[in-house]
Structure 1
């Protein structure tokens, strides 16, 4: 029996732990009789890590040739159709989806977070793309509401990464407990002054709790410099762990008492491993998660100017904040597997 070839498109091979986690989860959920082919920013690394056929996402002629060799095309999770961080991005992903649909491939939008879509052109393109898909799954209520407004059938389920299998991190066994994890990223809203205030508050938090600080860069190019700045103020009580395997990255949150996170998937991974989360939001997708899980935090642009207010909020949350119940975590993990059921239905 000839296996169905399926082309997977997302923000893969760019060193972003969240997007790599989505790819790992998608590969984990694909039916066994499917041959995945991945478009990547680093096809050699993607092939090495996952053992899959992979091609350069920016070599258009090769992408078209690869599309012709495939039976189906999948948008593989995340906020691909949004125009706030990039005006070009939705035209890249939307263009690929349109080409696949014109070619007659079966097309699937999987684990999507739609928007913000501020421009009429990108909104029109997104509506057209989603309407042409044979199956659509989204990860948040706002995206589901938009599709309902457009009259497009879909399923709503928790982010697929809730279902990603984690792996243990051997080096954690040697580190002191309790532990607090920190995942900050470079962003225009995180000014030098705000970062300095956060670092001072982290120093206060560490002294008050005597916790060991795990610094987890999710994307080295955006996060490592910030982690190094933090570590310079917490020299003997912190460690930077750069894990490129998303399953190991998720495993780094095992046994962590609290996470302070900007990145969406740092909060999802931490919560799924039973960790209390405090969010610093730079994007509506983080705010949506905060609302859904009742996660405390601030928008980065609204961060208090007083270091004492920040540190007091963190110390209070460390001492009194509630964990997600095991029943809630299991419910979210079970719900995430609806994305797998959609794939099984779509790729029959």
Structure 2
């Protein structure tokens, strides 16, 4: 009989990036491991992945899950950070600490650590990572922190590079060429900057005649800024939403260019051979933009002229290049290194 592992992340919250991380973790788990997912929507998680799930906010359910398990896995993403508040860090750190107190095998998988602005949060994070049986991280900044803390780790690209994509039903019937846009609310996306981006998209559509695909990765949040764009586009556009992360990644197989804020929007698009433009609101997006050499802007430094922005986008559309096949295959193969830390569960 296989081991029972509790999978902990920002799951069941309607966020396409985090669902993609869960799908990839389930893809990489040894076949002998029986997963139990902590979810914000257990019925939806059970239906989507065919796994057992419990309410991540129920103290009793959490305790029963941990007591019934052999292992506990931090399932990818920036779980240990305090850029907005300490609440999520204390939640995740508390669960990992409790799992370690219960002598479960603990794994921090595909983590992006930080920002950690408060010394107490830094202490908590260092403590739980030092006691893990296996750790993998997805960026050099996190690796540097673990080196300072003398924590052994595997460093590899974000695991979503290795997520197996599926075709999006109906996509082939939409007009071509196609440009995908993903925006999300954030303090750095001020009304003035949003207006500038909307006008740049209007100019880009007039110049290219492309059909715009509006892709909310977290619909209840992302629909806001994308609706502002939909109201102004002069040509054809379509909303595309799916709760299937493999289909979400598959969308980019049929897209000519992607303009995205969200990290996993850029990763999925680049992985499927799509030209990308990054709008960076967070250090993790800035790191990816630098590593891949993506054109784009830091939102804090966005030009005031929509014409300047649309000219860059039009240049990428007309003459830009996607990542080479060799580069994409290399990133996918290296992303599979996150599977190595899961081997202790066999």
Instruction: State which drifts further: 8-17 or 228-237.
Output: 228-237
- In structure 1, what is the Cα distance between the partners aligned to 2:4 and 2:85? 30
- Partner Cα distance (1:283, 1:10) in 2: 19
Contact 2:206 2:234 in 1 (8 A): no
What residue number does 1:347 align with?
A: 345
| In 1, Cα distance between equivalents of 2:121 and 2:42 | 28
What SS does structure 2 have at the residue aligned with 1:107?
strand
- Residue 234 of structure 1 deviates from its aligned partner by 1.9
Helix, strand or coil for the counterpart of 1:311?
helix
* 1:260-298 deviations in Å (ceiling 9; x for gaps): 100000000000000111111111100111111111211
Give the CA deviation at 1:317.
1.6
Whether contact under 8 Å (2:83, 2:115) holds in the other structure is yes
Residue number in structure 2 paired with 1:96: 95
> What SS does structure 1 have at the residue aligned with 2:252?
coil
2:293 aligned partner: 294
**Partner of residue 113, structure 1:** 112
Matched, 1:221 2:205: no
> Residues 92-141 of structure 1: CA distance to partner in whole angstroms, max 9, x if unpaired?
00000000001000000000000000000110011001100010000001
User: 1:236: Cα distance to partner?
Assistant: 4.0
Match of 1:131 in 2: 130
Deviations 1:166-188 (A, max 9, x none): 11012111112111110000111
3-state SS of the aligned residue for 2:5?
A: strand
Contact 2:179/2:212 (8 A) holds in 1? yes
Please name the residue that 1:307 is paired with: 306
More deviation, 126-135/312-321: 312-321
TM-score (norm 1): 0.98
Residues 44-72 of structure 1 deviation map (CA, whole Å, 9 limit, x = unaligned): 11111111111111111210111000000
Q: Kindly state the Cα deviation for residue 341 of structure 1 after the two structures are TM-superposed.
A: 2.3
Partner of 1:181: 180
- Map Cα deviations across residues 223-269 of structure 1 (whole Å, 9 max, x no partner): 01222221222264111101111111111111212111000000000
- 1:1-348 mapped onto 2 (5 Å cutoff): 2-234=1-233, 236-344=235-343, 346-348=344-346
Shift of 1:209: 1.4
RMSD: 1.0
Runs of 4+ in structure 1 off by over 6 angstroms are none
**1:62-99 alpha-carbon deviations (Å, 9 max, x no partner):** 10111000000000000000000232111100000000
How far residue 319 of structure 1 moved from its aligned partner, in angstroms, is: 1.5
For structure 2, the 5+ residue unaligned runs are: none
Pairs aligned (count): 346
Higher mean C-alpha displacement, 126-135 vs 190-199: 190-199
Kept after mapping to 2: 8 A contact 1:227/1:240: no
TM-score w.r.t. the length of structure 2 is 0.98
How far is the alpha carbon of 1:338 from its aligned partner? 0.7
Deviations along 1:137-169, one digit per CA (max 9) or x if unpaired, are 000011111101111100000100001011101
Quote how far apart the aligned CAs of 1:204 are.
Answer: 0.5
